[in-house]
A and B are shown apart, each in its own frame.
Chain A
Amino acid sequence: MSRQLVPQDMRDVVRASVVIGIASGIYAISFGVLSVSAGASVLQTCLFSLLVFTGASQFSAVSVISAGGSVASAVSGGLLLAARNGVYGLALSPSIKGSLAKRMFAAQFVIDETTAMTSAAPDQRSKDWAFWSCAVMLFTCWNIGTLIGALAGSSIDPKSFGLDAAFPVVFVAMVAPHLTTRSGRRAAAIGATVTIALTPFLPIGLPILLSAVGVFVGLLPHEDAPVSATSEASP
């Protein structure tokens, strides 16, 4: 647990959330630009980010529409990508405590970044901090970025600033704490291989979902402790 993304204290957690929020805000600008150029209004573009609030699905839906696809194909592609949030919800459900109403509210913020931050936190208190600070920063920056992009329209080319690399770059830093165990490394290797092997043959979104088979490494006899689940048993 020596990687810097595993929080030493709450200040580290908040600082990481701010950086992730800014990264996603920059990425959201490119969503706003693409959405408006695909024919959505500024209001529709902002509602995507407020209500859908899962970046990959938003990008995928807008790119299908701009390529001339139907609403049905845009929705199904987007939801295929969003399905992994259901898997994240399963992973986070032991960490998200409280009333049904609170958990239903928290669910809106269960996405890649909040899951990575929360699962890297060592105990329940820092999991709470990680989840909510990441949720607030992401939601704020994602929606402000979307608005800026929607208003800027097609006068910005996100690629020339390297912004399309922002997400994989942040994910690299996020996955590092999960690679400190042998089972984590095996699960990651399986997930990466499955995605690359299946991408040319399956609809967009499905390979990512199928990469979750990597978690069955956890069924094998293991020599090392799980990355974060041990703290769950003793609340």
Chain B
Amino acid sequence: MSWWLVIWLSVGAYLLKVVGVVVLGGRTLPVVINRCLALIPAALLAALIMKDTLTSGQDLVIDARVVGVAVATFATMRRLPLTAVLILGVGSTALVRAVAGVI
């Protein structure tokens, strides 16, 4: 594999990370901006859950991951600790895959 891939991806990824932290870094912002920034994790985590559960590349798919995430959602609503949520979610995905074959 080309070393250029390693180099460009490393440099680019770092520059993207540093720009947000250093540009604003520690300044006091207007309340409305803070309110929007505080919503970033909600919007992006929800988006990541959808991407990691229901997509494969550019395709929308339904497979064993849906069961794992549903089980994890239930476990989270029951206020189980993170370790239990992880084990139940990953375990149920593996179980469904083993029982149902290649999905």
Contact = CB atoms under 8 A, between A and B. Distances in A.
A219 B17 CA distance: 25
Contacts of A204: 57-58
A232 B34 contact: yes
Chain A contact residues: helix, strand, loop or mixed: helix
Contact of B49 (A83, A172, A200, A202): A172
Chain B contact residues: helix, strand, loop or mixed: helix
B95 to A, nearest CB: 8
A97 B50 contact: no
Interface string B27-62: 111011011111111111111111111110111100
Given A107-B21, A200-B59, 12 more contacts: A74-B5, A74-B9, A161-B90, A162-B68, A165-B65, A165-B72, A166-B86, A172-B85, A178-B41, A191-B44, A216-B36, A232-B29
26 contacts: A4-B81, A65-B1, A75-B4, A75-B5, A85-B16, A88-B17, A89-B21, A93-B21, A93-B24, A96-B26, A100-B22, A161-B94, A167-B48, A168-B69, A170-B86, A171-B52, A176-B76, A187-B39, A192-B46, A201-B58, A204-B57, A204-B58, A215-B37, A229-B35, A232-B29, A233-B28
Interface of B: 1-6, 8-10, 12-14, 16-29, 31-32, 34-55, 57-60, 64-65, 68-69, 72-73, 76, 79, 81-83, 85-86, 89-95, 97-98
